[in-house]
Structure 1
């Protein structure tokens, strides 16, 4: 989906750490869109991915002091900027999600708190531990922040084979915000209790975040932006939906494993297959209903 050019963006919802994000120590990796190939291969080799995730990009040095480079993201002020620049599109999508979810969750008696969106380059320290671009976008429950390296979106196309349309990128942001909604609803911890397998709680957690992303997709172009009668985003077209489904498919465990090792092992899945991810994204989009996203109650996802 493209942004209405006159929509006003709110840069205060984003931390721009591209000026000097360092790698800290400790903690567990947050919940992300697709993990990383390094972590994935470690799981196939029998290495505990929780341990390996804490090692990715860790230099063994003390945490670097992170500088906020606010000037770059502060220049994102309109929907026209979001249509032209990827970092502004991440910001604009976060603005849209932060406008949509409070009103949507209100009937469920859930108070929505705005998560901070962090844009970084190469590496970053978080309350969930150190992270690099290799792990992909992720949400950290420890600090209630969603982390994005814009370089990942190029990898999404060149390495994972996704289409490059705007909604392919916006879906990634919406998925991570889906984890924040899970955090508010108290379901996010289930992933740690059953971390692997095609029907595991980890997979069900990730598919539910995909489903929540689909709910936002259905309503994004009808929710007015703050102080405006117009929404952030224009109505979704079929090509937009195709782009989002392409992105969901490209980060399926089976597809990533096949590309990395030549075979797929469902017993090691943590995020779901391409078909599963497309199915649950579509479920959220078609229903627009939170109850339809209860991946934990169905016998098979």
Structure 2
């Protein structure tokens, strides 16, 4: 299988500080694969995602290698110039973050924000661009796309905001979607719909997925393979069913046991056909 994303010996440092926040992380993701990254808060999951996207801000600094298979050849993210990264963000890799109020522009109407990647990466203009904006909102099952397009982000609900964020991530038709805790900030009644939307979009478009979460049942229902992180390092990795049914490492066993204990307390049916 051709690797779409190759992370090799990635570390994330704070300039002038001691131990790295992410230390020697390596994994690969093939075309159409779905990878789950799990671990407790502070394990380095989100920093790894930001490094893959080339979004680490000073004083954070990445070392090692992150290669994306983009049109026109592989791109080395670590050390790449901003102009080069702008060509792959959106068209090769899109991202959905935990809190859309932080990742979307509060001063731009939603339609204008969606228009930017459609213009930049797909070259749309005029009526074709306006239709594509409305189609992008309809594709994420937002009712009244014309009203949503005219709205500012604070004028729509939390669930609608996250669907807008997904529409923005998918607008340029990327080959890889990174979803970093995309439902954590949502009401429980809204989470299932957003998860279903992400899974259906990935399946219908044949995209690869990196799904970052601390929620094992969700990851078990989405990912083909799982990487387990703790204190900035990968402690275990493997095929989802095998890793969660027979974890080798003590930390993974603790996570799985805690998830099962919580599942026993909740009467709700588990996601996607089975308990962890």
TM-score (norm 2): 0.29
**Structure (1/2) with the larger helix percentage:** 1
Determine which structure has more spread, i.e. the larger CA radius of gyration: 2
